[in-house]
Every structure is written in structure tokens, then in C-alpha cells.
Amino acid sequence: MTGAPAATEVNFDGLPGPTHNYSGLAEGNLASERHKSGVSNPRQAALQGLAKMKTLADRGFAQGVLPPHERPDVEALRALGFAGDDAQVLTVAARAAPQLLAACSSAAAMWVANAATVSPSADTADGHVHFTPANLVSHFHRSLEAPTTTRVLRAIFSDAQRFVVHDPLPSVPQLGDEGAANHTRFATAADAPGVELFVYGRAGFDADARTPRRFPARQTREASEAVARRHALAPERTLYAQQHPDAIDAGVFHNDVIAVGNGTVFFCHERALVAQDAVLQTLRDRIGAGFATIIVTEREVSLERAVATYLFNSQLLARPDGGMFLVAPAECRQDAAVSALLDRLIADEGPIREVLTFDLRQSMQNGGGPACLRLRVALTPAERNAIAARIWLDETLHAELVSWVERHYRDRLAPADLADPELVRESRRALDELSQLLRLGSVYPFQQS
């Protein structure tokens, strides 16, 4: 890579969809369970996400946009035996199986940290950027996302000379894959070969392995290993670590709820990983003396408090001065202990030099913070220029997206509203316009019928 143009880490944020609702579908996601059956505000959810994107873009961070998925997924309901036109399918499903209707209406694709695992060209043997869309088999509502995610990624990263978008792994529990939420890349520079840390919750084929008692572990080691093989990563550039079962039982359903890393910095709770000291030493040995850890103890912030505030579900961004910039949810400043910790981190003049919080309450109440909303992709200038889709957020696109949201999104959505046939029509009109606005082509099933 000597002499090559510098790569830049791009944050691709997911737009919350028109059916953003609180159905409490995700077992082990405490916020989702706590707000089940509440009334959501899809318009506010999308505008809050766009406000975060715009602020970071204004500060010079590369920012892309990923679209929502088509919901309700009427074809999924038909596959489950509900017949008739769209209105009949929704009416019967709402009466006979409301949880299936809720699952097929979920806007969880907004959390694009689960969209795929990404390895940049600096890490891969063939010099391509590799994507493996997550199969998300642990929950039915999320398993529906893989086909559309694959189509969207292939529409954006279409240059076969630079990008490889694989098919998702086989959709079986032993190969449960939750995407980048359980994957962190460390490197001395964005265009330098990195070390990719894959975190799993369980061994898919070992029933006797230590697992959580309260909540299911979603990611399997076998899935992580398969992704690494697909991406042609050198063994010395990969590392596998197990999530601590106690953390999963406390509501850490993905590793990005308890740890975040970037560059040569790792910010995590002391109970994030099994054999954590050994994992950190291996990272230090492979990355070099510049590797820095910020370990928060249980005494400073308990696992339960970390989950409640989503302290670690923050974005860790590199500033031009070499320090790190932490993008955290507003809830972190509403908790005295967490807020004091953040102030201390800045005062200590360590790797984290600045903290900025955002109001993402609509997403947070469904269990997704700043890190859930973004997929990180390191791209060289040539790779960025190979993208023809209009997904780079600037003043003009931001204004157009805000106008689009305000025209198409409801400001109130209760679970009972998911049976409204007009919601299907509203969503399809919105997504048809959006796919043209972003120059994605026909990525939705209703556009191909």
C-alpha cells in the first residue's frame, strides 16, 4: 500500500423507515422490550437520524446514507399462508397473528451495523472491499432483511473491479451472523493493513460451550470464521473473542453495546469479553505499542447502567489532530455516573478528546444507539469515485431527504396501525421516490413486480 492514496472511513447511516414502531420483537434487547406497544413517531425517528448525519458531515466526516426496507413485507405474510390482496392479508394477519404482522412491519433495518461485515481492500488478499450481508437468523423479523440488504449493497458497490458483495451465510442457527455489530477493525491508518476482531456469543456446533442463561447468544464463532475466510483475511490479521455471558444476560445482545474501537483505540467495559486481558494483549502484540485501551470498571459504571445509557454504543471517530471524538446518545448525559466518566475521560487528555451527544430517542427506545445506526466502510478515493449512487450526504441531499421525510412519514404510529392498508401504499410511494433520489435503481420487490 506504499504510495497509495489514503483511505477514509465512511459512516453509512441507515434511515429509519415509515413503519418505525414499538412492537418489542427483540429478545434480550431490554429497551425494545420495555417500550413494547408504545406509540412511535416515524417522522421524528428519521429526522433525528438525519440530524446526526448532517452534524458529522458538517464536521468533515465522510457520511453516506442507506435506505429503509419495504415494510410491511406483505410477500412474507403471503409466504406464511395469508391470502388475498394487500388489504385482506393485513386484516387477517392482524386478527389471527398480530406478532407476525408486527415482525413483517419492523423497521429494524435502520440499524445497519447489522447489515453486513465489511473488510477493506487493505486487509483482503485480492485487494477488493468485501461485504458479507448478515443472515440475522436469531430473530424472524430481522432475517427478512438479508435479501434487500444484499440488493442495496450490490446497487451501491457495483464495481466488480473493486467490490465483492457476497451472499449471506446459510440461514441456520449454527451460522448465526449479526454483521458488523460484532466486528471491529483496528489499524494504524485507514489504508494500512489492520487487525479484524470478530466477537461471538457462542459456538454453533458445541452444545457444551459456556453460554448465557437469561438471553440467547446471537453470533456464532463458526459464522465469524466463515466471513473471515470469504474475505480472504490472513490468519495473523484476524482474532476471535467470546462475548462475556454475563454481559449478554445484562442486555448486551451485540458486542457494540459494550465495546467500541477505532484506529488503535479500544473503549470497553471490563466485562465485555471472556479472557479479556489475554485478548487485549494479543491485540497489543499485533497492532503495536500505539494500541490504547480505555477500560471502564464495574465500579465506575455497572453493566446494567452501561446498557441503560448505551454508553458503549457510541461512535468513535478519528479527529485530524490524532485524538478521538466520541458520539454518544443523549442518555449518557442524563446519568450522573456516566456523565462524570465522560468528563473524566476528556480531562485526562487520553485518546478521547471530545464527546458530543445526540437526541436519538426514537431509535434508543427501540434498542439502537448511534453505533447501531451506522455501517463503517474504509474506502480509498478511487473506491469512493467508483460509487455512482447518490448516497453522499451534503447540504443539498440533506435538505431533499428532510423534505422527503416530512412529506411521506407519519408522526404517530401505534401497533394497531400496522393493519392499515394505506400504510403499505404510503411506504411504497416513499421508497419508490427515495430509490430514484438516491439513484439506486429498482432495489425493492414492489418495483420489480
Active site residue 395: no
Active site residue 139: no
**Given 372, 383, 398, 408, the catalytic residue:** 372
* Total H helices, total E strands in the chain: 16, 15
CB 197 within 8 A of CB 241: yes
Q: What number of CA atoms fall less than 13 Å from residue 278's CA on the CB side?
A: 6
Q: In which element (H, E) is residue 164 found?
A: strand 163-165
Q: Which residues pair with 165 in a beta bridge?
A: 131
What type of residue is 169? L
CB 253 within 8 A of CB 136: no
Report the alpha-carbon distance of residue 328 to residue 268 in Å, rounded. Answer: 14
Sequence-distant (≥ 6) Cβ neighbours of residue 353 within 8 angstroms: 319, 321, 323, 324, 325, 346
Active site residue 178: yes
**Given 178, 196, 222, 331, the catalytic residue:** 178
Report the relative pairing of strands 195-200 and 324-329 from DSSP bridges.
unpaired
The SS3 assignment for 185 reads strand
The answer to whether the peptide bond before residue 193 is cis (omega within 30 degrees of 0) is: no
The SS3 assignment for 298 reads coil
**Given 141, 231, 254, 408, the catalytic residue:** 254
Report the alpha-carbon distance of residue 376 to residue 11 in Å, rounded. Answer: 5
Report the alpha-carbon distance of residue 229 to residue 387 in Å, rounded. Answer: 26
CB 313 within 8 A of CB 256: yes
Alpha-carbon distances of 20 from 69, 78, 122, 260, 266, rounded to whole Å: 11, 21, 37, 26, 32
The SS3 assignment for 16 reads coil
Other CB atoms within 10 A of residue 94 CB: 19
Burial 319-341 (b: 16+ CB within 10 A, else e): eeeebbbbbbbebbeebeebbeb
Among 209, 157, 178, 165, smallest CA distance to 379 is for 157
User: Annotated catalytic sites, by residue?
Assistant: 178, 254, 372
